Amino acid sequence: MTVHLVGAGPGDSDLLTLRAARLLEIADVVVHDRLVDPSVLALVPPDVELIDVGKRPGHSHSQELINELLITLGRQHACVVRLKGGDPFIFGRGGEELAALRDAGVRCEVVPGVTSALSGPLAAGIPLTHRGVSHGVTVVTGHTRDGQGVDFRRLANSQLSLVVLMGVTFRASIAAQLTAGGLDRETPVAVIERAWTRDQRVVRGILSGLGDLDIDSPAIIVIGPAAQLDLTALGSLAEVASA
pLDDT along the chain (243 residues), means of 10: 94 93 96 92 95 71 91 96 93 92 95 94 93 93 70 92 93 94 96 93 96 93 94 51 42
One domain for residues 193 and 141: yes
Sign of CA dihedral 208, 119, 27, 46: positive
Q: Where would I find the H helices in the chain?
A: 18-26, 38-41, 63-74, 94-103, 116-123, 171-180, 236-241
Q: Say how far residue 156 (Cα) sits from the centre of its chain.
A: 21
Alpha-carbon distance of 3 to 81, in angstroms, equals: 6
Q: How far is CA 107 from the centre of its chain?
A: 26
Sheet holding 201-206, edge to edge: 137-141, 161-165, 219-223, 188-193, 201-206
Q: Confirm if 92 and 34 have CB atoms less than 8 A apart.
A: no
Tell me, yes or no, whether 100 and 42 share the same domain: yes
Distance, in Å, from the CA atom of 16 to the CA atom of 11, rounded to the nearest integer, reads: 9
Task: Clarify whether residues 178 and 120 are in a common domain.
Answer: yes
Is the same domain home to 76 and 128?
no
In this structure, the answer to whether residues 63 and 169 fall within a common structural domain is no
Which residue, 111, 146, 167, sits at the end of a domain? 111
Indicate whether 123 and 237 sit together in one domain: yes
Q: How far is it, in rounded angstroms, from Cα 38 to Cα 41?
A: 5
68 & 170 share domain = no
The pLDDT, as a whole number, for residue 117 is 94
103 & 146 share domain: no
Residue type present at position 108 = C
Compute the C-alpha angle 79/96/25, nearest 5°.
20
β-bridge partners, 165: 141, 220
Q: Provide the H-helix boundaries in 42-170.
A: 63-74, 94-103, 116-123
Residues 122 and 61 in one domain: no
- For residues 129 and 104, membership in a common domain is answered with no
CATH of residue 128: 3.30.950.10
153 and 226 inside one domain: yes
Task: Compute and round to an integer the Cα radius of gyration of the chain.
Answer: 19
The Cα–Cα gap between 227 and 36 comes to 25
Q: Which of 80, 85, 71 is nearest to 218 (CA)?
A: 85
pTM, two decimals, is: 0.85
Domain extent, residue 102, equals: 2-111
**Which residue, 111, 146, 176, sits at the end of a domain?**
111
Counted domains in the chain: 2
Catalytic residue positions, numbered: 33, 55
CATH number at 59 reads: 3.40.1010.10
Question: Last residue of a domain, which of 111, 144, 165?
Answer: 111
- Which whole-number Å values give the CA distances from 204 to 124, 153, 189, 221, 229, in the listed order? 10, 22, 6, 10, 10
Q: 229 and 123 in one domain? A: yes
Cβ(55)–Cβ(93) below 8 Å: no
